[in-house]
Amino acid sequence: MTWLYLILGIALLALLLVGLLVAGRRRQAPPTDSTDLLAPEQEPAEAPPEGTSLDDLLEAPEEPEAPEESAPTAPVLEKPEKPASRLVRLRQRLAGSGALGRGLLGLLSRDNLDEDTWEAIEDLLIGADIGVGPTQELVERLRTRMRVEGGADGGSAREILREELIALVDPTLDRSLDVSGADGRPGVVLVVGVNGTGKTTTVGKLARILVAEERTTLLAAADTFRAAATEQLATWGERVGVEVVRGPEGGDPASVAFEAVKRGVDDNLDTVVVDTAGRLQNKQGLMDELGKVKRVIEKQAPVTEVLLVLDATTGQNGLIQAKVFSEVVDVTGIALTKLDGSAKGGIVVAVQRQLGVPVKLVGLGEGADDLAPFDAAAFVDALLS
């Protein structure tokens, strides 16, 4: 019996030893757990190079340089040309329509100013869209002065013509744009005119003039009927850092205008320029639309300038449009576009006479700064150059 207990004890001891051995081996074996396999392999630590001191080793490891963050690049804003130099720069473009001036000078310098010559002068003036009334006035004054002061001297003919043309264009009219508000409110410029006359382009160019004069400006894309007009205006604004308030396509133009002028008041801006839709469907429709826009704006701030945009190449048609608009809104100034493409500079005189309102701006090309403040003497000099 004792034997049996002894053998069992030895067997148990042997089993215990074997068990301990196996457990020890297991602990040393590499992990086989599948999740551990996905862990990144640890690089074996590199031995420090020879001569490395303890201080070196204790020093904080150098932060790896953060890759340079590419800061969002601000759009490079354009610097628009100051308005004062514009008409002079664009003189050549006007001179392109100077057939009128050259033709008149040629006729007036004739030795014999007979009836045929005066008739030719009249035809030239009427052909240049000056209008019948102003033409007769001018011819009358030229006849008198040429008789008294003239003669065969081309120099004096030129001087007389220059003076009379300037008088006709009227240098006494106040052509400054009313872009400033009162009582801390912004000036509001309402821009009206038939589509295609260059209205939106003129609003964009005007924004550049205001920026050049360091005025804080906001544009309102209230021509919500022409999707392209809003996009067009947004591009103009972006180029000079002027914000554009827009509404949904086909939305209410008055609400866009209201929103913009409200922003202008809240943000203490200098000027808000409002582009409008130029649908000449019928006079009543136009009146309702523009009337509403104006009323709504004036809940916030008075409209300081109503600028009518007219295409100089449209002649009599343009004058009819001008008349309709002036009956609908109180036009305070005219922006005459595309004078570069017209041989009919006389429209300046005709439209001023018809509306009793001065031409304040002239468009002389498709370039961004091809809009100039109008000046009677500079205009006539360009015609005669």
Binding site for ligand GDP (CB under 6 A): 193, 195-201, 229, 278, 337-338, 340-341, 363-366, 370
Cβ closest to ligand GDP, residue 145 vs residue 279: 279
Q: What are phi and psi of 196, to 5 degrees?
A: 100, -10
Closest CB 192 distance from ligand GDP, rounded Å = 10
Closest among 335, 321, 331, 333 to 363, alpha carbons compared:
335
Q: Per the structure block, which two tokens stand in for 102?
A: 């050259």
Q: Which is nearer to ligand GDP, 269 or 364 (CB)?
A: 364
Tokens of 258: 């209201």
Shortest distance in whole angstroms from residue 207 CB to ligand GDP: 13
Strand 187-192 versus strand 305-311 pairing type:
parallel
Distance separating alpha carbons of residues 310 and 220, to the nearest angstrom: 20
How far apart (Å, rounded) are the C-alpha atoms in residues 125 and 176? 27
Nearer to ligand GDP by Cβ, of 138 and 319: the residue is 319
| Residue 186 CB neighbours (<10 A) | 28
Q: Closest distance between ligand GDP and the C-beta of residue 96, in Å?
A: 11
Min. distance of Cβ 233 from ligand GDP in angstroms? 9
Among candidates 242, 228, 250, which has minimal Cα distance to 273?
242
Whole-number minimum distance, CB 298 to ligand GDP, in Å? 24
194's CB contacts (< 8 A; 6+ apart) are 278, 280, 311, 321
215/80 Cα distance (integer angstroms): 12
Residue 329 CB, nearest approach to ligand GDP (Å): 16
The smaller minimum CB distance to ligand GDP, of residues 107 and 361, is found at 361
Of 181 and 363, CB closest to ligand GDP: 363
Q: Which is nearer to ligand GDP, 168 or 277 (CB)?
A: 277
Give the residue closest to ligand GDP by C-beta. 363
